[in-house]
Structure 1
Amino acid sequence: MVNSGAIVTCSLLKPELNLADRFDYCTKMYKKMTGGEYLSFNNAVFLSERETADRNFAIGYYLRENKCFPQDTNLMELMDFYFQQCSVEVTSDSAAVIAATFANGGVCPITGEKILSSDAVRNTLSLMHSCGMYDYSGQFAFEVGLPAKSGVSGAIMLVVPNVMGISLWSPPLDPFGNSCRGIQFCQEFVSKFNFHRYDDIRHINRKKDPRRRHTESKASDVVNLLFGAFNGDVTAMRRYALLGMDMETGDYDGRTALHVAAAEGHENVVRFLIEKCKVSPYVKDRWGFMPLDDARRFEHVRIVDILESYIERVQQESGQLGETTPP
């Protein structure tokens, strides 16, 4: 039955808490998964869901009759909790971050925080793959071969495990309650790229596989990394960090992304490199300059303050407070 799994899942979420605390717990978890992107609650949707929920109430009573809920479950309170979960409001951007968190093994790619365990991600993606698209789930698994979750708002959250998360939104729905154009995009997506779960990743030539890097060398990676730092492009920094690149890698002159960002005054890139990537502030280029020296030379006062605070913190952690040379 459509929605029965979701209702049972709601009954298992922190059943020892009252309704308000259960909703607050879920909202905080969603917020973490969005990496701080937009997330809200739409009360009009909640009231509409509750007023037009005859079938969901019937499913709830059927599930209770078959003892699918924990003992002493209050069905009316449970249904309200379920309707609340149906009324959480996100944007395409925040939904894409949630999908990317699933694709990244439960680690939010924006904050780097581990939100979900690997087992929880695996189990959730398995459910999305088998029943995330309502009664169209079987055909979607056959044609697209990727875990996804749709909503009657016209949204689809698509996950390419270990690669990326995608959010689609187009309101016109098909008879199954899925976005017509969203389904079309997913079909064309896997027809062009080698992402279907059962695609042959070695011998198929008619599809592209962005995961395989044939021509990019380490030298071009360094150039792209430093070019991103020069332009203040945090997205490029994040992409290379997720690919596992050494963010302290320098060019021929020994200049790293932190050198370039400090010299150009890009505070957002500097913060990302020192806070998320934990790069060393002591790396010197061929002329003996550290990133702090570049920030001082080009009079980026804010960057100087940030780097000085970071160096002081590194020295404290290494037990060398007051020293001026690298630990």
Structure 2
Amino acid sequence: MACQRNEELQELLNEAKKVANEGKVASYIPALQRENPDTLSCAIAYPDGQCISAGDIQKNFTLQSISKIITLALVLMDYGSEHVFHKVGMEPTGDPFNSIIKLETSSQAKPLNPMINAGALSVTSMIKGKDATEKVEYILDFVRKLCHDPEITYCKDVAISEFTTSFLNRSLCYYMKGAGVIHGNVEEIMEVYTKQCAISMNCLQLAIIGAVFAGDGICPVTQEEVIPKNVARICKTFMVTCGMYNASGEFAIKIGVPAKSGVSGGIMCAVPGRFGIGIFGPPLNEIGNSHTGMRLLELFQEKYDLSMF
């Protein structure tokens, strides 16, 4: 997909970059610390295959938690909603994304939703494949189909960095395995999960995935259905209720579109029936969302009235 530079979008980008020094690049995953906090880029992909952009949209970054919405779509397609939601709930939580407290206080030890780490780990445990390598390739094949790009892969440095420091996520897995919520080898689940989070792409590719969800599962590049309409609907609903961590309610009021963020600084938006947005801005706010990306979306909302509400 060709992407044209847009001066109006660049002006909004320049305005949003003014708050870059108010955020901090993620440091708890060592490989993410190296990102330049002044980086900010954005692509907007339309259903007809057109695209506009500003900033260095070819700069690659890892999906991190944005991958949660992709693996959710994949297991829903493979198993159906009844099976999936037997293992993970549908309710928002006001707790941090890596919290263990709701597992301890729930009678079933079932994660509240697929967008928190516990829920995403439960979803990852359902990915098809005989071993971690096959499961990761299965996820990658799906992402490549969504982006219409066979070159998509994961960043080995980030995957290793995450795998060796994911002590809390291992705790979540072992807790859920002890309660019978997940099955299988915890280290294998962790390998798949950390490589899933380390899938690398640029803003244009992320905007195309956003456009797939915005267009009820239709890829804007090929015009083929890559996600069933009902699965796209479920995913967009989770993006609204849980996609921006425990700031999702505020985001729904201020911006009002389905979105998913990651601690690398990525944000994917799916504006229903209109377009997909891919943003990369590494400095994070205290919740874990891109600070400059959030400011850019606030400027979008002021100028273009994005809200679906």
- For the criterion TM > 0.5, the same-fold answer is yes
Residue 76 of structure 1: how far off its partner (Å): 1.5
| Aligned residue pair count | 195
2:203 aligned with 1:92: yes
TM-score normalized with structure 2 length? 0.60
Query: Aligned-residue CA RMSD in angstroms?
Result: 1.5
Give the number of the structure with larger relative contact order, counting CA–CA contacts within 8 Å between residues 6 or more apart. 2
Aligned position for 2:111: none
2:281 aligned with 1:156: no
Aligned position for 2:177: 64
Over 3 Å counting, the alpha-carbon distance change for 1:38 and 1:135 in structure 2 is: farther
Aligned position for 1:133: 244
Contact persistence 2:131–2:188 (CA under 8 A):
no
Residue 135 of structure 1: how far off its partner (Å): 2.0
Residue 38 of structure 1: how far off its partner (Å): 5.3
Query: Based on CA coordinates, which of the two structures has the bigger radius of gyration?
Result: 1
Aligned position for 2:15: none
Unaligned runs of 5+ in 2: 1-98, 100-115
2:232 aligned with 1:121: yes
2:119 aligned with 1:5: yes
Name the SS of the counterpart of 2:270 in structure 1.
strand
Contact persistence 1:101–1:109 (CA under 8 A):
yes
Contact persistence 1:37–1:94 (CA under 8 A):
no
Q: Distance in 1 between matches of 2:300 and 2:127?
A: 34
Match 2:148 to one of 35, 48, 72: 35
Q: Distance in 2 between matches of 1:115 and 1:75?
A: 30
Code of the residue aligned with 1:28 in structure 2: it is D
Unaligned runs of 5+ in 1: 199-327
Q: Distance in 1 between matches of 2:169 and 2:163?
A: 9
Q: Distance in 2 between matches of 1:153 and 1:167?
A: 13
Name the SS of the counterpart of 2:142 in structure 1.
helix
Aligned position for 2:284: 173
Residue 46 of structure 1: how far off its partner (Å): 0.5
Over 3 Å counting, the alpha-carbon distance change for 1:65 and 1:141 in structure 2 is: farther
Q: Distance in 2 between matches of 1:37 and 1:81?
A: 19
Contact persistence 1:38–1:91 (CA under 8 A):
no
Name the SS of the counterpart of 1:12 in structure 2.
coil
TM-score normalized with structure 1 length? 0.57
Q: Distance in 2 between matches of 1:144 and 1:114?
A: 27
2:301 aligned with 1:187: no
Q: Percent identity?
A: 33
Q: Distance in 1 between matches of 2:175 and 2:145?
A: 34
Deviates more, 1:34-43 or 1:154-163: 34-43
